Amino acid sequence: MEDEIAKVNLKEFEKKPDGSWVCVANSDITMKTGKIIRVPPGTVFKKGTMFVGINMVEELDKFSSAN
């Protein structure tokens, strides 16, 4: 089963017009399993790509629309 984001500071990310997300500051994302993923500035998450087994665009979109 794919993990899901439990906590993320969306101020550390910027959504681009093409739907991708770019990390703009050091970010620690807490997953529902308790795993913490550290993301450095400049990291780009594009639609349809996986990052450590997680579809980060889908997760960030879901998290941003819920908050």
Task: State pTM to two decimals.
Answer: 0.88
| Residue found by looking up tokens 């889908």 in the block | 58
Closest listed residue to residue 37, CA positions, set 66, 67, 8? 8
pLDDT range class, residue 55, cuts 50, 70, 90? very high
Which pLDDT score, from 0 to 100, does residue 67 have?
A: 64
Closest listed residue to residue 32, CA positions, set 56, 3, 53? 3
User: Residue 1 is encoded by which pair of tokens?
Assistant: 């089963």
Residue 45, domain extent:
5-66
Number of residues written out for the chain: 67
User: Residue 36 is encoded by which pair of tokens?
Assistant: 């913490």
Task: Count the domains in the chain.
Answer: 1
The span from the CA of 14 to the CA of 10, in Å, is 8
